[in-house]
Amino acid sequence: VARMDADDVAYPWRLSRQVALFERRPELGFCGAGVDMLIRGRIAIGRPDPVFKFGRIPILAMFFTIFIHPTVVYNRKVIDDSVLHYDQTYRHAEDFDLFRRLAGRYPAAMMPENLVVYRVHQASVTSRHVTEMRRTHLRIVAENLEREGLA
């Protein structure tokens, strides 16, 4: 299952590269990739965060939004359908919650290349609801810390 937002653009090779990754690593539950950003009609080339080379995805996913929603592909041969849902109680951070839950249960990978052009604009949900999104994100992080016995 491939995710995509209506206002973003996938490079033509996006799906073939992600499918090839699943063929090489059939145990993966899902994968994400980097993005280039479209800002005021210009593409800014994204740079991979070096933390992915050293950090473990399940731990990183507890604290950071490491998976960019329109880049994610799920392997339904690995992930149980009952887990692939958004929890509406995490308003404007439903994707962060989903990815932290998935990363805690299934192997995941971040591809070291940009496969999507992510459109940045003032009318986006992220831009319009940034304060609520940050509050919800912090609530999820606090729950993760509590679950790990660190709060």
pLDDT at 151 over 80: no
Print the SS3 string covering the chain.
Answer: CECCCCCCEECCCHHHHHHHHHHHCCCCCEEEEEEEEEECCEEECCCCCCHHHHCCHHHHHHHCCCCCHHHCEECCCCCCHHHCCCCCCCCCCHHHHHHHHHHHHCCEEEEEEEEEEEEECCCCHHHHCHHHHHHHHHHHHHHHHHHCCCC
pLDDT higher for 150 or 23? 23
What is the average pLDDT score of the chain? 90
Banded model confidence at residue 7, pLDDT cuts 50, 70, 90: confident
Rounded to an integer, the average pLDDT of 86-93 is 94
In a domain, 1, yes or no: no
Least-confidence region, from 4-13, 24-33, 71-80: 4-13
CATH code (residue 136): 3.90.550.10
Residue 47: its pLDDT value, please?
85
pLDDT single digits (tens) 31-58? 999 999 998 889 999 987 777 766 789 9
Residue 50: its pLDDT value, please?
73
In a domain, 3, yes or no: no
- pTM, two decimal places: 0.88
In a domain, 22, yes or no: yes
Query: Domain span at residue 25?
Result: 9-147
